[in-house]
Chain A
Amino acid sequence: MPRLLRHVLAVLVPVIAVLAALPAVYSNHLLLFNFVVFMGLAQGVNVIYGFTGYLPFGYVGFFGTGAYGFSLMVMHLHAPPLAALAVAGAAAMMLGLLLTPLFRLSGAYFSIANLAAALAVLQVVSNPALEPITGGPYGVSLSGVYAPDFAYATALAILAATLLLVIYLRNSRFGLALQAIREDAISAAMAGIDVVRARIIAWLLSALIAGLMGGVFAWYVSVFYADTAFQGEFTIFAIVFALFGGTATVLGPILGVVILYGIYNTIGITAPQYFQLIYGCLIMGLVLFLPNGLTSLLRRRGIDVP
Chain B
Amino acid sequence: MFRRSLLGLSLVALLGFGSALAAEAPSEIKLGTLYASSGTFASISMPVHLGLKLWMDQKNAEGGVFVRAFNKKIPLKMVEYDDQSNTATAATLYNQLITQDKVDVLISDSGSVLTSVAVPIARDHKMLLIDQTGTGAKFFSPDNPYIVLIADPVSSIWPKPLADFLTHDGPGLGIKRVAMIYATNDFTGTQAAAVRKFVTEAKAGVELVYDEGIPTETSNYTVYINKIQSANPDAVIHLGYATNDIAFLRSLADSGAQFKMLFAIYPGLETELLEKNVGAKGLEHVFTYVPSSELEYKPDFGMTLTEYKDAWHKKYPDGKVEFGFNSVAGYTTGLVLEKALGETASLDQLDLRKAFDAVSGKLKTIDGLFEIDATGAQIGSLTPLGQLVPDGKGSIKFVSIYPHDTATGKPVYPAP
Co-assembled chains A and B: yes
A137 sits at the interface (CB 8 A) = yes
> Which of chain B's residues has its CB closest to A33's CB?
B92
B91 contact set on A, CB distance < 8 A: 30, 221
Asked if B92 contacts A141 (CB within 8 A), the reply is no
With A225-B87, A272-B84 known as contacts, the answer to whether A137 contacts B95 (CB < 8 A) is no
- 15 inter-chain pairs at a CB distance below 8 angstroms, sorted by A residue, are A28-B96, A29-B99, A138-B186, A139-B138, A146-B120, A146-B124, A223-B116, A223-B119, A224-B87, A225-B113, A228-B87, A269-B81, A269-B93, A272-B38, A273-B38
Q: Assuming the A-B contacts A29-B99, A30-B92, A223-B116, are A138 and B84 also in contact, with contact meaning beta carbons closer than 8 angstroms in the complex? A: no
A268-294 to B contact mask, C-beta < 8 Å, 1/0: 110011011000000000000000000
Task: Answer yes or no: A50 CB below 8 A from chain B CBs.
Answer: no
Our pick among B86, B117, B215 for the contact of A223 (Cβ within 8 Å) is B117
A107 at interface (Cβ–Cβ under 8 A)? no
Residues of A within 8 Å of B82, CB to CB, are 268-269, 272-273
Query: Which residues in B have their C-beta under 8 angstroms from that of A233?
Result: 86, 88
Query: How many A residues are at the interface, by size bracket?
Result: 20 to 34
Given A29-B95, A30-B95, check contact A128 B213 (CB 8 Å): yes
Query: 17 additional contacts, CB 8 Å, given A29-B99, A128-B213, A268-B89?
Result: A28-B92, A28-B95, A29-B95, A30-B92, A30-B121, A31-B96, A34-B92, A136-B184, A138-B186, A148-B124, A224-B87, A225-B113, A228-B87, A228-B88, A272-B84, A275-B84, A276-B38
A171 interfacial contact with B, CB 8 Å: no
Q: Which of B87, B99, B186 meets A28, CB within 8 Å?
A: B99
Instruction: Assess whether B185 is interfacial by the CB under 8 Å rule.
Output: yes
| Interface SS of chain A | helix
* B contacts, CB < 8 Å to A: 37-38, 81-82, 84, 86-89, 91-93, 95-96, 99-100, 113, 116-117, 119-121, 124, 138, 184-186, 189, 213, 215-216
Does A154 lie at the interface of the complex (its beta carbon under 8 Å from any beta carbon of B)? no
User: Please, how many angstroms separate the alpha-carbon atoms of A139 and B186 in the complex?
Assistant: 8
Q: Is the CB of A221 within 8 A of B95?
A: no
Pair B189/A138 contact, Cβ less than 8 Å: yes
CB neighbours (8 Å) of B87 from chain A are: 224-225, 228
| Chain B CB within 8 A of A27 CB | yes
From the candidates B37, B121, B189, name the one contacting A137 in the complex (CB within 8 A).
B189
B138 to chain A, nearest CB (A): 7
The docked-state distance in angstroms from the alpha carbon of A45 to that of B255 is: 48
Chain B residues, Cβ within 8 Å of A223: 116-117, 119-120
How many whole Å from B43's CB to the nearest CB in chain A?
15
